[in-house]
Amino acid sequence: MRLAKATLPQVPDDIAAPRTRGPLGVGIVHFGPGAFHRAHQAAYIDALLDRDSRWGIAAVSMRSRGTVDALAAQDGLYTLAIRDAETSHRIIGAHQRFLGPAEAAETRALLADPGVGLVTTTVTEKGYCLAPDGTLDINHPDIVADLAGADVPASVVGWIVTGLAARRAAGIAPYVVMPCDNLANNGAKLKAALVAFARATDHDLADWIERDVAVPATMVDSITPAADEALATDVAAALDGLVDEAPVQREAFAQWVIEDIGRPLGPDLASVGATVTADVAGYERAKLRILNGAHSTLAYAGLLRGHASVSDAMGDPALATFVEAMIADDIAPMLAPVAGLDLRAYAQAVLTRFRNPVIVHRLEQIAMDGSQKLPYRLGDTLIANRAADRMPTRVVAALGCWIAFLVTRTKSGTPIADPAADTLARIATSGDPRRIAAEVAERGIGLPTAIAGDTAALDAIADAASRALAGDWSILDRR
């Protein structure tokens, strides 16, 4: 038997579930109902629905029907498995409508419905159709099609503007738009994209969006491994034989930071654990530099040392001590205080999360796209330290490990998973760390261009790379 409202009484009593919840309204339209949304934002909303029934979610999939069909078949119910020292389970029942490409008319109607107060998105960074400078790519095929009057919008920007145009025409207040992908300054970038899209066809609509539509910035965080056979088996056992075709899993830690826009967002997300703040950028910097910077360090150094996952790498005493010291000595001192965030406690929580053996976060996955990630994850910390006349020896060693990783992969003929893979492989063919460091810095690929003229920093990075290539792991002992 399948998990559904009719079988909900069969869910074991020790599993939290919406057993007594009454009818729900639809107050949120969400584009991109993938695993992260269902494990993260939907869990917050599900908790809120016990006290405020207005905010049920309409799940909209713009490309395929798989997820929405699976949810619809289970009346929107699915299991969230929390992977920690002990696994726990919870039945989520936040989704009320399930819309795929064929239900475009229903999606349009919902966006025009005054009862919908919030539109959220998890469509990945690529889904916003932005150019490299962060503005709307007016030549993106999806944007071109939408501006030409496609019957069904192909882009999330097109969908949101379509809904806003309908509300303006009907004299209905706009909904709040909330991007939930970890794109730096995501609120401002999405709002600018909406205005640019509207301005291409309707200047008055663009002015209205610019003036009246709120698009708060956000930061989201929770490691969410893909569903696998082990999850299906675990959930089937937990549900005492009930079948769940749409389970998701994540770590216990979850963070949702939302910009304070000076007025209600609609749903009271702060009441269920979201952080509403005037300094989303401060939280974003802390995550990028502490969590993501340490992640990338573990990926490149860990792969060179023969590890496969984050928890494996944290089981390496030398590497774990190195990463902890890097956060304490090189990263945290260069971060400005953030109201409401204890940086020391946050760093300790990050290290605890990394040690979670139940979450298998592959280093190969984290090592992907280093040319795009490293300037923000480690490069900004390097620049801040150098501006303070400091040499951050551990950050330098981490960047050296990336160069050693490139040389190792190139020599072995192993493909580098990176948008700049061909360029990186060509540069790394020389096998000369100093030459490689200089060239990638000049190009701003992985190393920031701001250090292209910093001979001391480039020398230190090259020295660390040379030692890592030689198997000299004394670089992990640097003070």
pTM above 0.85, yes or no: yes
For domain 281-477, the CATH class is mainly alpha
What are the angstrom distances between the C-alpha of 478 and each of 322, 368, 475? 8, 26, 5
Q: Using 50, 70 and 90 to split pLDDT, how confident is the model at 67?
A: very high
Q: Using 50, 70 and 90 to split pLDDT, how confident is the model at 455?
A: very high
**Across the chain, what does the average pLDDT equal?**
96
- % of the chain at pLDDT higher than 70: 100
Task: Quote the CA–CA distance of 462 and 416 in Å, as a whole number.
Answer: 20
Whether the CB-CB separation of 44 and 256 falls below 8 Å is answered with: yes
**C-alpha neighbours within 13 Å on the C-beta side of residue 307:** 26
pLDDT at 324 over 70: yes
pLDDT at 241: 87
Total residues belonging to the chain: 479
Structural domain 8-278, CATH architecture: 3-Layer(aba) Sandwich (3.40)
- In the chain, which segments carry CATH 3.40.50.720? 8-278
pLDDT at 478: 67
pLDDT at 479 over 70: no
Task: Quote the CA–CA distance of 212 and 252 in Å, as a whole number.
Answer: 37
Mean pLDDT of 326-332: 98
Q: What is the pLDDT of residues 254-273, one digit of tens each?
A: 999 999 999 999 999 999 99
Environment class of residue 385 by beta-carbon count within 10 Å: exposed (0-12), middle (13-18) or buried (19+)? buried
pLDDT at 181: 94
Q: What is the pLDDT of residues 23-40, one digit of tens each?
A: 999 999 999 999 999 999
In three-state form (DSSP H/G/I as H, E/B as E, the rest C), the secondary structure along 167-231 is HHHHCCCCCEEEECCCCCCHHHHHHHHHHHHHHCCCHHHHHHHHHHCCCCCEEEECCCCCCCHHH
Q: Which amino acid is at 347?
A: A
Q: What is the pLDDT of residues 397-447, one digit of tens each?
A: 999 999 999 999 999 999 999 999 999 999 999 999 999 999 999 999 999
Q: What is the pLDDT of residues 345-393, one digit of tens each?
A: 999 999 999 999 988 889 999 999 999 899 999 999 999 999 999 999 9
- In the chain, which segments carry CATH 1.10.1040.10? 281-477
Reference 287, options 398, 182, 156; nearest CA is: 182
pLDDT at 360: 86
